[in-house]
Structure 1
Amino acid sequence: MAQLLDGAGELGWVLLKSAIRFVFMVLNNCVAIPSYCCYMLLLQPLRLWDSTMFWHVEGFMFQWLLAMVSTWGWIAGYTVTEWGDDVRPVTEEEAMVIVNHQSTGDVCTLMMCLQDKGTVVQKMMWLMDHVFKYTNFGLVSLIHGDFFIRQGKAYRDKQLIYLKDHLDKYYNSRDRKWIVLFPEGGFLRKRRETSQLFAKKNSLPHLNHVTLPRLGATHVILKTLSAQQENGSVSSDVGTLKQTANKRKGLQWVIDVTIAYPKARPMDIQTWIFGYRPPTVTHVHYRMYPIKEVPVEAQALTDWLYQRFVDKEKLMAHFYDTGSFPRPEGQKEAVSRPMTLDPVWLCIIQLCAFASGYMWYSVLQYLYCCLF
């Protein structure tokens, strides 16, 4: 009987915490996102006068919004441990970031683990499924200049044309540095069976922890944002590039990011919101490839990209067997780095969000009273 009461009490506490978190996040969204939109509207004269400064300010506020999402996981004990290459030295260089995709929580994980990587979050462009356009964060992503891609054979060719036009229009003009995409084109649980059937039919590796990536968006990004050499690879030599007015070098790196969850249990956005899972450490592995090593010709790029996901499969299999990623070649052991966030900074961001929400509410209420 005592055990039953203890279990009921524990369940009640979990439900209470989840309800409090949900209310807090609803309020958080109700003040932060409208405030961001109001600031963007107010700063339109600055956009006409000095677009570089406008997008610098927008990027600063965009990072704060992503930090608010990070707060949701941080206060629930959802943290990140990083492995592999240290990407911080290249955060001011242009890079294409390819990530495996298991759940909606992957985006939240990236929002968290990139917070301490300089200004990269401010200058990042995301490629996301078009359904995210209709979420609470969709309007922010539209203003920021992210690209929403529609899946399916019926849309594929047109979407790639739209992507190229989008990159031409927004990537350089808004001083973007990293572009993030999920080449698998969907969640692992939804695509695994189809991917395995395709692999068997075409004598390709059988994968369990990832699926075979799709080439289209990756190919468009490389062709659009990098210069092509005679050998079919892309160049990082500034002298061979078609320069823009501000002498951008184009893509310098491909950063291969592998996300692994303990016991292969992905974190979804519902877990981040309600916090019903016990404190969990998500593990993120980075590997950097100089852009000159990446082929751009379609078949060679397909083989190269497939090999990256075969490597991901090995990394994740090792992690699920041992609890850690394998040591890099030439090193005696694998070294992990706990990713940390400053709680004082997170509190300041939240206070600023609620203060901004109150200010805009007061301003709009005053205007409404004056007009009506």
Structure 2
Amino acid sequence: MAVSLERARRLGCTCLKALLRFAFMVANNLVAIPSYVLYLIVLQPLRVLDSQTFWYIEGVLFKWLLAMVASWGWWAGYTVVEWGDDVKAVSEDEAMVLVNHQATGDVCTLMMCLQDKGTVVRQMMWLMDHIFKYTNFGIVSLIHGDFFIRQGKAHRDQQLVLLKEHLEKYYRSRNRKWIVLFPEGGFLRKRRETSQAFAKKNNLPFLKHVTLPRLGATQVILKTLVAPQENGTPVGGDTVIKESKSKGLQWVIDTTIAYPKGDPIDIQTWILGYRQPTVTHVHYR
């Protein structure tokens, strides 16, 4: 009986904490997101007069919003240990960040990791499923210039064309540095069996902890953002360098997120904090 009462008390405390956290997150969103939008509306004349300064200010506001989301996880005791190469050393260079995908919490984990990577967090472009456009953070990503991609064979070719156009229009004009995408095209639990069947059929590696990547978006990014070269030097030589400060995409950062016992954190857990404090490992290469 005592055990049952103790369990009931713990459950009650967990539910109360989750409710209070949820109320706090709602208040956060009701204040922070409209503030972001209103500030940028007021600053529209600056966008016409000095677009670089406008997008600098937008980037700072964007970083603060990502820090807010990261703080929710930190408050719940969800921390990160980072391994591998020091990616901060290339934070001023253009890079493509490839990340494995297990749950909605992957994005929140990245938001936490990127806070100490210099200015890059405010100069990033994210590729994400179009469903995120309709979330509370969708309006922020839309203004920031992230790309929402539709899944499925029916949309594949059209989406790649739209991605190329989006990169040409927004990536350099807004001084973006890193572009983040999840090449697996979906969550591990949903894609694993299909990936393994495809691997078996085509004599490819049989993977358990990740799935075979989908290369369409990756190829478009590389073809669009890597500076054309001939014999190891930029095509056009000094002329190209003078005309553009950008050296093109220089790095591919392979990022692996690993959760304890393979149990990923989803966005609901990140917000409500009902799971015990845990350490997520992130490896860069």
User: Is the TM-score greater than 0.5?
Assistant: yes
Q: Which residue of 2 aligns with 1:276?
A: 274
Q: Kindly state the Cα deviation for residue 2 of structure 1 after the two structures are TM-superposed.
A: 1.3
Q: Which residue of 1 aligns with 2:247?
A: 249
Moved over 3 A (4+): 228-231, 234-246
Q: Does 1:88 align with 2:88?
A: yes
* Helix, strand or coil at the partner of 2:249: coil
Aligned residues: 285
Q: What is the identity percentage for the equivalent residue pairs of Structure 1 and Structure 2?
A: 73
Task: Say if 1:173 and 1:276 are closer, same or farther in 2 by CA, change over 3 A.
Answer: same
Q: Does 1:263 align with 2:261?
A: yes
- Is the CA contact 1:236–1:251 (under 8 Å) kept in the aligned structure 2? no
Q: Kindly state the Cα deviation for residue 226 of structure 1 after the two structures are TM-superposed.
A: 0.6
Q: Which residue of 2 aligns with 1:106?
A: 106
Q: Which residue of 2 aligns with 1:40?
A: 40
Write the distance in 2 (CA, Å) between the matches of 1:176 and 1:3: 56
Task: Say if 1:32 and 1:245 are closer, same or farther in 2 by CA, change over 3 A.
Answer: farther
Write the distance in 2 (CA, Å) between the matches of 1:265 and 1:93: 33
- Is the CA contact 2:234–2:240 (under 8 Å) kept in the aligned structure 1? no
- Is the CA contact 2:72–2:270 (under 8 Å) kept in the aligned structure 1? yes
Write the distance in 2 (CA, Å) between the matches of 1:65 and 1:81: 22
- Structure 2 length-normalised TM: 0.97
Q: Which residue of 2 aligns with 1:296?
A: none
Write the distance in 1 (CA, Å) between the matches of 2:103 and 2:237: 41
Write the distance in 2 (CA, Å) between the matches of 1:228 and 1:122: 27
* Helix, strand or coil at the partner of 1:227: coil
Q: Deviations over 1:260-292 (max 9, x none)?
A: 0000000000000110001011100000xxxxx
Q: Which residue of 1 aligns with 2:218?
A: 218
Write the distance in 2 (CA, Å) between the matches of 1:132 and 1:121: 19
Write the distance in 1 (CA, Å) between the matches of 2:197 and 2:78: 35
Instruction: Trace 1:114-125 onto structure 2 (pairs within 5 A).
Output: 114-125=114-125
Q: Kindly state the Cα deviation for residue 246 of structure 1 after the two structures are TM-superposed.
A: 4.2
Instruction: Trace 1:1-372 onto structure 2 (pairs within 5 A).
Output: 1-230=1-230, 239=237, 242-243=240-241, 245-287=243-285
Task: Say if 1:235 and 1:214 are closer, same or farther in 2 by CA, change over 3 A.
Answer: farther
Q: Deviations over 1:43-65 (max 9, x none)?
A: 00000000000000000000000
Task: Say if 1:240 and 1:271 are closer, same or farther in 2 by CA, change over 3 A.
Answer: farther
Name the amino acid aligned to 2:273: G
- Structure 1 length-normalised TM: 0.74
Write the distance in 2 (CA, Å) between the matches of 1:192 and 1:235: 41
Q: Which residue of 2 aligns with 1:329?
A: none
Name the amino acid aligned to 1:126: W
Q: Deviations over 1:300-359 (max 9, x none)?
A: xxxxxxxxxxxxxxxxxxxxxxxxxxxxxxxxxxxxxxxxxxxxxxxxxxxxxxxxxxxx
Q: Kindly state the Cα deviation for residue 227 of structure 1 after the two structures are TM-superposed.
A: 2.4
Gaps of 5+ in 2: none
- Aligned-residue CA RMSD (Å): 1.7
Q: Kindly state the Cα deviation for residue 228 of structure 1 after the two structures are TM-superposed.
A: 3.7
Write the distance in 2 (CA, Å) between the matches of 1:236 and 1:133: 37
* Helix, strand or coil at the partner of 1:254: strand
Q: Kindly state the Cα deviation for residue 4 of structure 1 after the two structures are TM-superposed.
A: 1.2
